[in-house]
Copies of this chain bind each other. A is one copy, B any other.
């Protein structure tokens, strides 16, 4: 199996690691311009434009937007069509994801200071959220759960789902997942036209307050362009895993964990770091042996060759230097005392602790979200969560005594900024003694 071998002791290690992990979004001017045109058109012509683009890009034959709308009964019918095993798995996953996310819910808080002034924040849910779910060959029911359930737990008033259905094909598991996750309306529309419809609203598709979920470069560019008009979540890059192993995990487990990332697509990145050189060799041999047993062998070989790596570290401390440099989306700590070592992690989307915690469990059903910051954006962003569907309003309620004391301070500072009306507004509340 072709992949990159690195050693942290090599003088060019940092340079080679940077080159390997570098990922820059393809943002050419042409994509920007095409997306701008679609946004303008949908803002202007509404449903008619959405129908036209969908017929053209997804080879549909819709007369009106009603032909692209899936109603709640159809979602429930799809759920009923699943095998018992599939339905139970979906419901078990949803129950765990819901339970975990319930614990993220933020509540309003307030306190009173010594003067009796009330201070705090009032936390509320978004009125309406738009969930973008990729369609076609990568239609993932788990993505429906992971995007819609946090919104549902947050108490979002209405969850609107969009997902393209090329050639009109719909996956029962995706429809069933929407039913399980509390989706009320599902439009089989994708691309920049779907983002435009959610941002501006059309006759049939309601304008939402925030759009979440991953998509192709047109979707990413459209989200970037409507940001400000509506909220968006992060812009997703290719998925990645970094496995740290002390050399004492079954090499088959590690090989398969790397493959589970590499099989996503040719751009996916799977990296193993270990202080045990012999273990790295064994994992490589194991990968070679197992690869032919997998349906997606070709994708796996390409992604391991282009973006994968086995890295030899001096010791585990050194391995954690690599972790914080990469700031991976998924971090698997396949080692003893993983919980203790996790405290050394400054940046990661999700940390999988111990040999019994493969990333795949987190992708589907452990509970935490699988929408995670990629491409080192874990340096400043977080997993998708209930907090993405809540917002805060500051609360300030001055007592007369508090207003008088604060008014004196504000007056000095406002006059320092030469904002006299600010100063006088504050001074009007100062009590004359």
A residues whose Cβ falls under 8 Å from a Cβ of B? 25, 85-86, 89-90, 92-93, 100, 103-104, 109, 111, 113, 117-119, 121-122, 124, 126-127, 140-142, 173, 209-210, 224, 227-228, 230-231, 234-235, 250, 252-253, 256-257, 259-260, 262-264, 294-296, 300, 331, 338-339, 342-343, 345-354, 356-369, 372-373, 377-383, 385, 387, 391-400, 402-403, 406-410, 412-414, 416-426, 428-429
A356 to chain B, nearest CB (A): 4
11 A-B residue pairs with CB within 8 Å = A127-B379, A227-B235, A263-B421, A296-B420, A350-B396, A351-B394, A353-B397, A358-B426, A364-B406, A365-B406, A366-B398
A70 to chain B, nearest CB (A): 19
Q: Which residue of B lies closest to A392 (CB)?
A: B382
Further 19 A-B residue pairs, CB within 8 A, beyond A361-B403, A382-B391: A89-B412, A89-B413, A90-B413, A117-B366, A141-B413, A231-B377, A253-B425, A256-B421, A352-B397, A356-B398, A356-B399, A357-B397, A361-B396, A361-B410, A363-B410, A364-B426, A365-B410, A378-B393, A379-B391
A17 to chain B, nearest CB (A): 17
A121 to chain B, nearest CB (A): 8
Contacts A396-B357, A397-B339; A379 near B209 (Cβ below 8 A) = yes
What residues of B have a CB within 8 angstroms of the CB of A358 in the complex?
403, 425-426, 428-429
What residues of B have a CB within 8 angstroms of the CB of A357 in the complex?
396-398, 403
- B92 and A263 form a contact (CB under 8 A): no
Q: Kindly identify which residue among B173, B360, B407 contacts A425, using a CB–CB cutoff of 8 Å.
A: B360
- B416 and A141 form a contact (CB under 8 A): yes
- B413 and A349 form a contact (CB under 8 A): no
What residues of B have a CB within 8 angstroms of the CB of A260 in the complex?
419, 421-422, 424-425
What residues of B have a CB within 8 angstroms of the CB of A428 in the complex?
250, 252-253, 256, 358
Q: Which residue of B lies closest to A128 (CB)?
A: B379
What residues of B have a CB within 8 angstroms of the CB of A422 in the complex?
260, 263, 360, 363-364
Contacts A122-B345, A346-B127, A416-B141; A362 near B394 (Cβ below 8 A) = yes
Task: Give bound CA distance, A410 to B306, whole Å.
Answer: 28
- A407 and B86 form a contact (CB under 8 A): no
Task: Give bound CA distance, A345 to B395, whole Å.
Answer: 11
A169 to chain B, nearest CB (A): 14
- B417 and A394 form a contact (CB under 8 A): no
List 4 A-B pairs, minimum CB-CB distance, nearest first.
Answer: A353-B397, A231-B380, A350-B394, A368-B394
What residues of B have a CB within 8 angstroms of the CB of A410 in the complex?
360-361, 363-365
A39 to chain B, nearest CB (A): 12
Task: Give bound CA distance, A347 to B124, whole Å.
Answer: 8
Contacts A358-B428, A360-B422, A425-B359; A350 near B416 (Cβ below 8 A) = no
| Residue of A25, A103, A262 with highest tally of chain B CB at under 10 A | A103
Q: Kindly identify which residue among B103, B118, B294, B412 contacts A339, using a CB–CB cutoff of 8 Å.
A: B118
What residues of B have a CB within 8 angstroms of the CB of A392 in the complex?
382-383, 385
Task: Give bound CA distance, A263 to B422, whole Å.
Answer: 8
- B90 and A380 form a contact (CB under 8 A): no
Q: Kindly identify which residue among B86, B122, B257, B356 contacts A412, using a CB–CB cutoff of 8 Å.
A: B86
